């Protein structure tokens, strides 16, 4: 194939693939099979591999992006991305409409009502029909350029149809569909990884990833709701924007209402509340906008929000059900956690049959009994909680729940930690404790032994193939062949992952051992201070307290752990298996961060320990808490109390993009 022939064929394939993407994702009218689509895509990939100069930014092959990014650049918004005023009250919504009437001087005001998708706000620009860039809200004036990650969203056109508008900037919401989120969490559970709390958080975290190839494995989607720059198009209303989205092949809200009175607005939000469970994405309210752009201009904006729009938020959904039983879950540290088993009830679109009770002090404080009628609330999280007891429904047959005196699994007398309000099983050989401890040991944050998920670990323990973490390193093909539904390839992968884990940094081993009160940050501090596990084991409690961030309670816990006979024997076996006990020196990359102290918070593109490594490699120090000595707070999505404290103390707050820029 000559270059000219290749260029002609690539252009044809690209156009056809864009057309079929639109038919499949936008119009839901596919005309070819997935196999035929994949064959065309593969042919285009082969051509572009042979003739790299034919690769275009909008090529269908670019959906998965290229090499991981060093960091996100910033894009200044053409029009600020403002937030909306919101309310949970129908009375306040009626008052909002009254303000519209007063501001415009008439009774009837044409408004549009759309679902408020619970995702991540995005602005996306098209120029000459080609996707130019996409950016997050950021501070409202500038946001992170996440174009490569957005390209992985199959529903988002890289090239617009030629018969529609070509240059404009739209605003939308990136989300994770309910079904895709459930599947993603199922896969994470099977892999022994921590579950995402809700679709919104997982979406925000995914968009912050620096490797588009990883993003492409996450089920992201997008829906559009507004316009930032019409690009010279004559648009007079939000209804015109909806028509524009249709012509451009951009998905708009699945349900849209029009109303011109307060009564109409209330009827719409009530109907949406009834129907939103059937939508493929999570919604937490409705957005009400004045339809006419002329009216919007007349009403104007405040410094933070438009006067012509408001978000009506639904109250967290609650449901009434009955507690059938209260079971006890045993964790890796032996902590006994009460969990209520409920009469199944529909909450937030899913059937709930369990709810957390946190601890026995809460059971006593709320006077929760087996047989009680209770109110549960999901509020966007995976695990719902018992909010209150309907004591007026009591019949006298309800059973008071007593705190356990013995472990329900192994029968060992429990220990009560009064300060932590935790009841523990102290038996290190309790089968449930062993399972949870091994799950923690193999997790990504600890020794990162991929493939050994909860179901595999359960079989290993039940078959007595593994009774502590050191037994993992004695596994072989013959032993693993006893597992159900595990083939030769999986066995080979397990053994390779186990062997590879021997080279992990020793702080991961200390964290993986599950020493009470020792998290990943504390484990790293210990290894940085002492240089090796043997030195930690030999240290007195007073010497341990000389390590930064290690207080008396933690030091006593560490000192006691390393003096228990079965733990000493465990360490000897791990050492004999070839695990790394001595801390490697971090190779210095530069001295750009010399003299600075950093605190990391929120969801970032990499896990915190990896980013902490980068800071240390460039001369900086990392602390777990904000203080007057903190130089910078590196804040990602969903930053919490540390962000507030840093602001109060005047600590400079940096985004990840700004941090990467410093390097």
Beginning with the edge strand found earlier in the chain, give each strand of the sheet holding 632-635 in spatial order.
Answer: 621-623, 597-601, 632-635, 652-654
Cα separation of 163 and 352, whole Å?
48
Among 630, 624, 626, residue whose Cα is nearest residue 595: 630
Cα separation of 284 and 200, whole Å?
11
Angle of helix 454-462 versus helix 178-190 axis, rounded to 10: 30
Structure tokens at 499: 């062997």
Beginning with the edge strand found earlier in the chain, give each strand of the sheet holding 257-259 in spatial order.
Answer: 86-87, 309-313, 283-290, 111-117, 257-259
Residue 452 CB partners (closer than 8 Å, separation 6+) = 192, 438, 442, 460, 472, 494, 497
Helix (H) or strand (E) holding 355: strand 350-356
Among 141, 501, 445, residue whose Cα is nearest residue 303: 141
DSSP character string of 487-525: -HHHHHHHHHHHHHHTTS-HHHHHHHTT-TT--HHHHHH
Confirm whether 183 is a catalytic residue.
no
| Backbone dihedral region for residue 385 (phi beyond 0: left; psi -120 to 50: alpha; all else: beta) | beta
Beta bridge partners of 169: 125, 229
Residue 95 CB partners (closer than 8 Å, separation 6+) = none
120-127 and 130-136 as β-strands: parallel, antiparallel, unpaired?
antiparallel
**How many other CB atoms are found less than 10 A from the CB of residue 399?**
12
Of 29, 50, 102, 116, catalytic: 116
Residue 113 CB partners (closer than 8 Å, separation 6+) = 256, 257, 258, 259, 265, 268, 269, 272, 286, 287, 288
Please state the φ and ψ torsions of residue 623, each to the nearest 5 degrees. -120, 160
Residues belonging to the active site: 116
């Amino acid at each position: 194939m000559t270059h000219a022939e290749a260029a002609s064929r690539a252009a044809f394939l690209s156009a056809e693939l864009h057309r079929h993407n639109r038919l499949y994702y936008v119009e839901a009218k596919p005309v070819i099979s997935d196999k035929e689509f994949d064959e065309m895509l593969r042919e285009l990939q082969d051509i572009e591999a042979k003739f790299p100069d034919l690769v275009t930014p909008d090529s269908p092959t670019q959906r998965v992006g290229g090499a991981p990014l060093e960091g996100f650049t910033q894009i200044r918004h053409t029009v600020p991305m403002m937030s909306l005023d919101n309310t949970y009250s129908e009375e306040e919504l009626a008052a909002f409409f009254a303000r519209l009437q007063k501001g415009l001087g008439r009774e009837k005001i044409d408004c549009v009502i759309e679902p408020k998708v619970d995702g991540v706000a995005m602005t996306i620009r098209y120029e000459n029909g080609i996707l130019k860039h996409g950016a997050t809200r950021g501070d409202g004036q500038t946001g992170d350029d996440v174009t490569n990650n957005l390209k992985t969203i199959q529903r988002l056109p890289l090239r617009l149809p030629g018969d529609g508008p070509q240059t404009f900037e739209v605003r939308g919401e990136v989300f994770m569909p309910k079904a895709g989120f459930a599947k993603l969490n199922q896969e994470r559970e099977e892999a022994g990884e921590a579950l995402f709390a809700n679709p919104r958080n997982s979406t925000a975290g995914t968009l912050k990833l620096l490797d588009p190839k990883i993003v492409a494995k996450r089920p992201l989607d997008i829906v559009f709701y507004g316009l930032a720059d019409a690009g010279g198009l004559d648009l007079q209303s939000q209804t015109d924007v909806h028509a524009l989205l249709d012509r451009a092949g951009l998905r708009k809200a699945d349900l849209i209402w029009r109303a011109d009175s307060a009564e109409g607005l209330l009827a719409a939000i009530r109907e949406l509340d009834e129907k939103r469970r059937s939508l493929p994405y999570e919604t937490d309210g409705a957005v009400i906008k004045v339809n006419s752009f002329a009216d919007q201009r007349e009403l104007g904006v405040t410094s933070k929000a438009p006067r012509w729009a408001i978000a009506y938020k639904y109250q967290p959904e609650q449901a009434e059900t009955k507690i059938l039983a209260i079971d006890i879950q045993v964790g890796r540290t032996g902590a006994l956690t009460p969990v209520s088993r409920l009469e199944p009830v529909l909450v937030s679109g899913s059937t709930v049959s369990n709810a957390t009770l946190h601890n026995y002090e809460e059971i006593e404080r709320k006077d929760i009994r087996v047989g009680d009628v209770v109110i549960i609330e999901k509020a966007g999280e995976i695990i719902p909680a018992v909010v209150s007891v309907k004591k007026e429904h009591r019949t006298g047959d309800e059973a008071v729940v007593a705190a356990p005196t013995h472990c329900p699994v192994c029968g060992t007398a429990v220990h009560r930690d009064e300060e932590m309000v935790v009841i523990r099983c102290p038996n290190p050989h309790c089968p449930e404790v062993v399972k949870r401890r091994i799950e923690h040991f193999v997790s990504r944050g600890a020794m990162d032994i991929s493939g050994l998920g909860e179901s595999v670990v359960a079989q290993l323990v039940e078959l007595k193939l593994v009774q502590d973490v050191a037994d993992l390193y004695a596994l072989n093909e013959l032993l693993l062949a006893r597992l159900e539904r595990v083939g030769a390839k999986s066995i080979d992968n397990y053994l390779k992952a186990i062997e590879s884990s021997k080279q992990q940094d020793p702080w991961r081993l200390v964290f993986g051992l599950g020493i009470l009160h020792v998290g990943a940050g504390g484990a790293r501090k210990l290894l940085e201070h002492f240089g090796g596990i043997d030195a930690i084991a030999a240290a007195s409690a007073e010497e341990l307290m000389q390590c930064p961030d290690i207080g008396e309670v933690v030091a006593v816990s560490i000192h006691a752990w390393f003096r228990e006979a079965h733990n000493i024997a465990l360490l000897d076996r791990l050492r004999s298996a070839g695990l790394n006990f001595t801390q490697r020196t971090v190779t210095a990359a530069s001295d750009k961060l010399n003299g600075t102290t950093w605190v990391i918070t929120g969801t970032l593109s990499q896990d915190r320990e990896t980013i902490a490594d980068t800071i240390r490699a460039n001369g900086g120090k990392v602390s777990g808490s904000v203080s007057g000595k903190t130089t910078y707070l590196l804040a990602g999505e969903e930053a919490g109390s540390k962000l507030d404290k840093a602001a109060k103390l005047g600590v400079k707050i940096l985004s990840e993009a700004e941090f990467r820029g410093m390097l």
